[in-house]
Amino acid sequence: MKIAVVGLGAVGGLIAARLAAARHEVSALTRGATLAAVRAHGLRLVAGGQETSVAINADDDAHALGVQELVVVALKGQALADAGASVQALLGSKTVVMPAMNGVPWWFLQTLPAASALTDRRLTSIDPDGRIAAALPLECVLGCVVHLTCSSPEPGVIRHGFGDRLIVGEPSGGASTRAARVRDALADGGFTAEASSDIRHDIWYKLWGNMTMNPVSALTGAPSDRIIDDPLVHAFMLRTMDEAQRIGAQIGCPITQSGEERMAVARQLGSFRTSMLQDAMAGRALELDSLVSAVREIGVRLALPTPNIDALLGLTRLMARERGLYPSAA
């Protein structure tokens, strides 16, 4: 399969390295120090105590890579609008675009049932001017949920942590040949790949778990186990999760699990630093809008109270603005 990965950070790098090792025709759209490192040394993957390197065609010009069968977009949410125009050079009439990104995607409300109370299907917190939707139309998109941990300690180097599960599915639900084909390609790369008939639910379920842990970790600098073990923080996170659970029930994404049960799953993973904490420590922009702002936006439009989500967003956003990790208020 001819595959281009847009963004060779932790997740994009892991997907690119594994698919290239499985002999798919993999290229990457990247730039700067990462582009230089991959051209000089290949894309290096550290897993199980061993380092391997794979050669991939990397470029900062999408036109040089050409039209692809699959485009994996592995950028931070705040970078997607600017990258959308470049990605278009990779698209043909049958190209599948799979965003492997955290949080609520720009298309999330576009596939709500016609009878939904939300008649406006835009998410202004994610795509305020419609640039993403214009560049990446819904018909080319395949949803994806990433359940794994990895990091990029230096440009062109990917360190795999734990987990290897990737879920793919049609934004409107149901099964499709293209979803099955992408699932099979990911399985070639050693991922535990699944094709879902309800990817919106899978997206909301993951969001429900990490929309609290990520910002709290960035605010406090604490790893996951310390956060879960603090009784006051634990209770605050449960209240926030309850609000998100109520929102999900109104948009076709009901969750039957309790917040305590979800916390128990996170506890089993041991002590880890979330991706948002890693970004904060490295001075990188924080991915707040797709994880928290979008949830609050939907809640407000449904007239559901979100006092705990409001507090989480306000505090984390202010911290990030003071450190130059989130755009300043207009």
Residues annotated as catalytic (active site), given as ranges: 206
Is 276 found in the same domain as 261? Answer: yes
Per-residue model confidence as pLDDT tens for the chain (330 residues): 999 999 999 999 999 999 999 999 999 999 999 999 999 999 999 998 899 999 999 999 999 999 999 999 999 878 888 888 889 999 999 999 999 999 999 999 999 877 677 888 899 999 999 999 999 999 999 999 999 989 999 999 999 988 999 999 999 999 999 999 999 999 999 999 999 999 999 999 999 999 999 999 999 999 999 999 999 999 999 999 999 999 999 999 999 999 999 999 999 888 988 989 999 999 999 999 999 999 999 999 999 999 999 999 999 999 999 999 999 876
Q: 73, 83 in Cβ contact below 8 A?
A: yes
pLDDT in tens, 183-241: 999 999 999 999 999 999 999 999 999 999 999 999 999 999 999 999 999 999 999 99
Q: Which of 29, 21, 37 is nearest to 4 (CA)?
A: 29
Is 105 found in the same domain as 53? Answer: yes
Is 128 found in the same domain as 231? Answer: no
Question: 3-class DSSP state for residue 295?
Answer: helix
Would 233 be classed as within a structural domain? Answer: yes
* CATH assignment of the domain containing 129: 3.40.50.720
Last-in-domain residue among 145, 170, 197: 197
Is 208 found in the same domain as 131? Answer: no
Is 237 found in the same domain as 173? Answer: no
Is 167 found in the same domain as 209? Answer: no
Q: 66, 273 in Cβ contact below 8 A?
A: no
The residue segments making up the domain with residue 83 are 2-197
Is 234 found in the same domain as 181? Answer: no
Phi first, then psi, for residue 177 (nearest 5°) are -65, -40
Is 28 found in the same domain as 129? Answer: yes
Please count the structural domains in the chain: 2
Is 262 found in the same domain as 164? Answer: no
Would 328 be classed as within a structural domain? Answer: no
Burial class (CB in 10 A: 0-12, 13-18, 19+), 199: buried
Strands 2-6 and 25-29: parallel
Half-sphere exposure of 214 (CA within 13 A, CB side): 23
